[in-house]
Structure formats: structure tokens, C-alpha cells
Amino acid sequence: QVQLQESGPGLVKPSETLSLTCAVSGGSIGSGGYSWSWIRQPPGKGLEWIGSISSSRSTYYKSSLESRVAILVDTSKNQFSLKVISVTAADTAMYYCGSGAPGRGDYWGQGTLVTVSS
């Protein structure tokens, strides 16, 4: 069974770049059929999809975030990453990585809280 673990800074200053990594175990990120996603949840609010990358390395992003986000895969380290540029307080959230069949989250990481504050 695939297991996911997010890591990255818990505090980011406004206007800077948020960078998170999701380590994959129990499966190979290079194998086909899976997609790899990032989802976030502001404190006390619902889930918001950020974007996904497919096994063919095609990327799909929420339209309102597309100009600021990037998802990359590193097959040598069996991990994928999220970068969000020019962050504001509105980017403060619990960030989850997920994977599974295209279009859904069969497996989720435990989440990592990122606070944007000076």
C-alpha cells in the first residue's frame, strides 16, 4: 500500500515561495496508472484541490492558482513536490499530498501545516 509523507517549512513569509515535498513509499512514482496530487485545507474550512501530475507527467492546476503553482516529480528520490510563488496569508493551510487512480485520492499523507506570516 502506498504511503505518503509531506515535508517542508511550517512558516513562510509573505511574497516568498512555499516549497513542499511528498515522499512516496510502498510504490514507485515512476510506475504508470497513478496520478499525484496536492490538496489544501485552510483552518476551519473545506478541502481545496491545488493540482495533479499524471504518470505521463502532464500537469493540471486549479485555474485560480495556475499562475503561481508548479508540481514536479523526482523519480530518482521517489517523491513529488509543490511550489507556490508570491504567497499571501490566504495560502495559510494544511497541505496534503495524495495519490491514486486519476481524479481521486486513494491515499493521503498526514498533512503539513503551512503558515504565511512575517
Partner 1 sequence: YVLTQPPSVSVAPGQTARITCGGNNIGTKSVHWYQQRPGQAPVLVVYDDSDRPSGIPERFSGSNSGNTATLTISGVEAGDEADYYCQLWGTSSDLNWVFGGGTNLAVL
Q: Which residues bind partner 1 (CB under 8 A)?
A: 37, 39, 46-49, 52, 60, 62-63, 96, 100-106, 108-111
Nearer to partner 1 (CB atom), residue 54 or residue 78: 54
Distance of CA 108 to the CA centre of its chain: 10
- Closer CB to partner 1, 13 or 57, in the complex: 57
Nearest approach, Cβ of residue 107 and partner 1 (Å): 8
Partners of residue 97 on adjacent β-strands: 38
User: Is the CB of 46 or the CB of 117 nearer to partner 1?
Assistant: 46
Nearest to 66 by CA among 85, 81, 47: 85
Q: At its nearest, how many Å lie between partner 1 and the CB of residue 13?
A: 27
Q: Which residues contact 55 (CB under 8 A, 6 or more apart)?
A: 31, 32, 33, 34, 35
